[in-house]
Amino acid sequence: MGGRGMIVISRQRLFQAIFVIWVVLWANFTIRDLVKAGRLFEYRDLLLRPSAEAKRSYVFGDRFYEFLKICDTKIPRSLNYEIVGLEDGSLDQRRAAYLLYPRLESAAADYILVYNLPSFERKSYKSFLVIDKHRYVLKRER
C-alpha cells in the first residue's frame, strides 16, 4: 500500500517544525520591535553588565539606585519610611519598595526619603543623612 511520492511526517517531526517556525517568528518580531523603538542597544548594554548589582543599577538609574542602596544601609530594617519626590504609584516608587524591603512605606514614617527635591521640610523631622542637595533623608524626632 505504498503510494508513490507520498511523504510521511511523524507527529514529533511536525511538532519540531512548528516549534522552530514559532521561535524564528517570535525572535523576528521581538528584534524588529526593539530596533524600531531604538532599544536594541539598551538591551545589549544591560546584557553586558557583569553582575546583578550592575544590572539593577542600570535599570533603576544610577543616581536613584545609589540613593536607595545608601538608605538601605543606614535605615534600620525594622523601621518604616516614606519617600517623597516620586510620582505616587510610579515604577520608581515600586522599585524603592522592592529594594528597601522588609521596611514598609508608611504615612507616619520614622524616616522620610527625599529624592529630587531641593528643599523639603516636615514638622518633627530633622536631617539625618545628606547625599547631595536633591537627595537626603529626614528622621522623626522622638
Of 97, 78, 72, whose CA–CA distance to 86 is shortest? 97
Torsion of the alpha carbons at 138, 78, 51 and 137, rounded to the nearest 10: 0
83 CB contacts (<8 Å, ≥6 apart)? 93, 96, 105, 112, 113, 114, 115
Strand 81-84's sheet: what is its strand order? 81-84, 111-115, 135-140, 125-132
pLDDT 10s digits, 100-119: 999 999 989 999 999 999 88
pLDDT at 34: 72
pLDDT 10s digits, 26-60: 988 888 877 777 776 666 666 776 787 888 877 88
pLDDT at 5: 59
Percent of the chain with pLDDT over 90: 60
Q: CA distances (Å), 2 to each of 9, 10, 16, 131, in order?
A: 15, 16, 25, 82
pLDDT 10s digits, 69-102: 999 999 999 999 999 999 988 999 999 999 999 9
| DSSP 8-state code for residue 105 | B
What is the mean pLDDT of the segment spanning 121-129?
94
* pTM, rounded to two decimals: 0.67
Domain boundaries, the chain: 11-48, 61-140
